[in-house]
Each structure stands twice: as structure tokens, then as C-alpha cells.
């Protein structure tokens, strides 16, 4: 008996396989990156980093996300979307392991840059794969890979301190290597199970538009999406970067492990909301109007209420808010772009967003160093929460040029 055909013209079994592949790609895109925050205090002590250098350690890969997003879009046009994603996975996994060989801050930065380069290649690829593989299920495809991103971002913070570090004798170097192993194992699995014929047929059909890999920088949509996503990911990465030293400065270093688990693990709970509300997620303002203010309230609570319970609850709220608004934002490039423009629009969005994401954590660290007051590192993140609320609401109501032409 054959599996039923869904509205994309795919067998249900093949649809599930595609969703699993997108999920695995999302896991690979975050796992090696988020192996850093749990070991920052150890790296800080051994390599004698300043707070500004800690900010750069998180910010440098994000800068490469910005710099390499457009070359990633070009690679998609040249070799195909799936091949570009596989290339990025491989680079990110190998470079993630190489961070464990760092002899000083500069070699650590070099490995972090290489890791960011691999992830940057993947980022415009995943929205493009969603459009190619699931053109009628864009929200579902986006939820699949963003769910993988959440899991990939959750496992290292949740497992490193209680399990991985004890298993490797407290070595942050071996911890990096260990987290790279599942990332590299995803590569052959993704290659073997990818619907290659579908990918090839889509690319042949899109030959006439393959040259539109460059972002149209005059298009206001790219800047609107870029600053919206920058206001989402900057608080997430900066919080992961500074939370350990911030809690240590308040004498609460003992709760870092559980706080990181809730910061990243609460995003799994957010997935339930995302799945249930999938049909109400596309181009809707409610995720930004509800969870932008929630993020702001959580940061203020983190700064003003010193109890451990308040710290953990604030971290959980930040995790939920960033997960839901991330998925809502990632769904916009394939929804608001013409079919041939998805890779270019996504690349432009990531370039702008991750440009913000290196500037903002660096500013956070510099404010702490200059003032000597740990709480000042979180002031830019409060501003991001307000910006996310405003720009996200505007973005979902934006009507791109191709929609205006078709309505005439």
C-alpha cells in the first residue's frame, strides 16, 4: 500500500523524511556554536580574556555569518542548495573541533571564524531548501529547521557542565571535540537521504533566475528583516556569552548550569507553542507584540531581582521569547520574496542581522569594561527587545513589490 499523497505532491513518508533532514540541518547549524557558553569561565581563566574579548569570541562567528552570507548565496547558485548546505555543515563541524587546539586567544578566534564561515554558508540555504522542497508548506518547513536550531542550541548548554566536562576531565578543549562528533555524523546522513532528484529538477527549472543570488540592497525588505532578526539573535547570543561572568560577579556562579539549561531548554517548550500555532504564525504580528515585551520584562527582572528563582525564570522567558520570534522571522524571507529571490533576500537579511550581532555583544562587553558595572552589559539587550517588537510588527505587514504587481 502506498503512502497518501499530500498537497505538495509528495508521499507522506517523503514529507516526513524532508522534515527530518531540515531538522538535522538546524541541529548542525547551532550545536558547535552553542558549545562555547558553558565553558567560557574555563576559557576565560586559562587564556586570560577580558570581557570585551569574551564578547568578541561570541561576536566573531556572527560577523562571519554576515560577511559570508552573500558568498553562501552564490555557492547555492553554483552547486545547488543541498550541496551548499552539506559543505557548510562539514566546515562548521571540523572547525568546531579545531577550537580545542587553540594555544592562545588568536588561534581560538581563528577557529571560531572558520566555524562561523561554515554556518554562514548554511544559513541562506535552509530557507531556500524550504521553498524548493516544500513550497506549499513553508511554515511547516521553517518550524522543522528552527526546531532543530533550538535543539542544537539547547543540548550543549544543558549537557556540558553536568555530563560532558566530567566525562573529559574538565577539559574545555575536549568538550569542543566531543560536540563536533555528532555534527560531523549528520553530514553523511543528510547527503544520503536528501531528495537529490527533486533538488536537481528544481535547479534546472530555476536556471533562468540562478543569477539572482545577490541581495537587492535597495530593497527595504532586506533591511527591515535584517534589523528585525538582528534584534532577535543579538539578545540570545549575548545573554549566553555574558550570563556566566554576570552571575559570578553577583556570587551566583553555582546556578550558571541550571540557568543556561533554562535559557536554552525553555526554547523546547516554545516549540509546542510554535507547532500548535503554525497556521497562525505566517505573517502575524502577535509573536512580536507578545514576546518582545516579555523579553524586555525578563531582562529587567534579571537585573533588578537577585533571587536565584527570578534569575532562572528570567532566563527561561528570554529563551521562549527568542525562539518564537526567531521562527516567525525566519519564515518571512520565503513568504515575502519571489521564488528566485529567496536565497538573495535571506543572504541580505543574515548579513544585516549578524552585522548587528557582532556590534551589539561587543558594545555590551565594552560597557562592562568601561563602567565596571556588570548590569550595563544588558542595557543594549533591553533596547533590542523594544526594537524587535516594533520592527517585527512592521515586517509582517510589509507588502513586497512582487505582491503589489500581482494585485494590480
**Average pLDDT of the residues in 206-229:** 76
Task: Convert the pLDDT of each residue in 27-46 to its tens digit.
Answer: 999 888 888 888 888 888 88
DSSP 95-148: HHHHGGG-SSHHHHHHHHHHHHHHHHHHHHHHHHHHHHH-TT-HHHHHHHHHHH
Is it the case that residue 401 has pLDDT exceeding 70? no
290-336 pLDDT, tens digit per residue, is 999 999 999 999 999 989 999 999 999 999 999 899 888 988 888 88
3-state secondary structure of 11: strand
Residue 211 is predicted with a pLDDT of 47
pLDDT digits (tens, 9 = 90+) for 336-358: 877 677 778 888 898 898 888 87
CA distances from 162 to 165, 189, 248, 256, 257 (A): 7, 29, 18, 11, 8
For residue 6, pLDDT over 60 is answered with: no
- pLDDT at res. 207: 44
The sign of the CA dihedral 313, 319, 322, 325 is negative
Q: DSSP class of residue 2?
A: P
pLDDT at residue 177 above 90? yes
218: nearest Cα among 348, 53, 31, 113: 348
* Reported confidence tier of residue 405, pLDDT bands at 50, 70, 90: low
**What is the C-alpha separation between 126 and 86, in angstroms, rounded?**
11
Q: Which domains does the chain have, with CATH numbers?
A: 12-407 (1.20.1250.20)
Question: pTM of the entire structure?
Answer: 0.74
**Is the per-residue pLDDT at 9 higher than 60?**
no
Judge whether 85 and 226 are in contact, CB under 8 Å: no
- Selected residue with higher pLDDT from 213 and 376: 376
Report the pLDDT value the prediction gives residue 201, as an integer from 0 to 100: 42
Q: Supply the angle between the helices 105-133 and 51-79 in degrees, to the nearest 10.
A: 40
Going by pLDDT thresholds of 50, 70 and 90, the confidence category of residue 407 is low
Residue 230 pLDDT class (50, 70, 90 cuts):
very high
Amino acid at each position: 500500500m502506498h503512502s497518501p499523497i499530500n498537497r505538495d505532491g509528495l508521499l507522506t513518508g517523503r514529507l516526513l523524511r524532508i522534515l527530518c533532514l531540515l531538522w538535522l540541518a538546524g541541529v548542525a547549524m547551532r550545536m558547535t556554536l552553542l558549545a562555547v557558553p558553558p565553558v567560557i569561565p574555563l576559557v576565560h581563566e586559562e587564556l586570560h580574556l577580558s570581557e570585551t574579548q569574551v564578547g568578541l569570541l561570541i561576536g566573531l562567528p556572527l560577523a562571519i555569518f554576515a560577511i559570508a552570507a552573500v558568498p553562501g548565496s552564490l555557492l547555492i547558485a553554483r552547486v545547488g542548495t543541498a550541496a551548499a548546505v552539506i559543505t557548510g555543515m562539514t566546515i562548521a563541524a571540523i572547525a568546531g573541533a579545531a577550537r580545542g587546539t587553540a594555544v592562545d586567544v588568536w588561534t581560538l578566534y581563528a577557529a571560531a571564524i572558520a566555524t562561523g564561515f561554515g554556518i554562514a554558508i548554511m544559513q541562506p540555504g535552509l530557507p531556500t531548501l524550504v521553498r524548493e522542497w516544500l513550497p506549499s508548506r513553508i511554515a511547516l518547513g521553517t518550524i522543522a529547521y528552527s526546531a532543530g536550531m533550538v535543539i542544537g542550541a539547547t543540548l550543549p548548554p544543558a549537557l556540558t557542565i553536568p555530563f560532558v566536562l566530567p566525562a573529559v576531565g574538565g577539559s574545555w578543549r575536549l568538550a569542543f571535540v566531543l560536540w563536533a562528533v555528532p555534527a560531523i555524523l549528520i553530514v553523511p546522513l543528510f547527503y544520503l537521504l536528501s531528495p537529490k532528484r527533486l533538488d536537481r529538477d528544481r535547479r534546472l527549472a530555476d536556471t533562468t533566475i540562478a543569477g539572482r543570488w545577490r541581495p537587492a540592497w535597495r530593497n527595504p525588505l532586506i533591511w527591515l528583516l535584517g534589523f528585525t532578526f538582528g534584534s532577535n539573535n543579538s539578545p540570545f547570543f549575548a545573554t549566553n556569552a555574558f550570563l556566566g561572568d554576570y552571575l559570578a560577579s553577583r556570587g551566583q556562579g553555582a546556578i550558571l548550569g541550571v540557568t543556561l539549561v533554562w535559557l536554552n531548554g525553555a526554547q523546547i517548550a516554545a516549540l509546542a507553542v510554535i507547532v500548535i500555532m503554525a497556521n497562525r504564525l505566517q505573517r502575524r504580528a502577535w509573536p512580536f507584540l507578545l514576546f518582545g515585551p516579555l523579553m524586555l520584562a525578563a531582562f529587567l527582572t534579571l537585573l533588578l531581582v537577585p533571587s536565584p528563582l527570578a534569575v532562572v525564570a528570567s532566563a527561561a522567558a528570554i529563551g521562549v521569547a527568542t525562539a518564537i520570534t526567531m521562527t516567525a522571522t525566519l519564515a518571512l524571507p520565503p513568504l515575502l520574496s519571489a521564488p528566485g529571490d529567496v536565497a538573495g533576500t535571506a543572504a541580505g537579511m543574515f548579513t544585516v542581522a549578524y552585522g548587528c550581532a557582532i556590534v551589539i555583544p561587543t558594545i555590551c562587553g565594552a560597557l562592562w569594561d568601561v563602567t565596571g558595572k556588570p548590569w550595563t552589559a544588558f542595557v543594549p539587550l533591553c533596547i533590542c527587545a523594544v526594537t524587535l517588537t516594533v520592527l517585527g510588527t512592521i515586517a509582517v505587514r510589509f507588502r513586497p513589490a512582487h505582491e503589489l504587481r500581482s494585485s494590480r
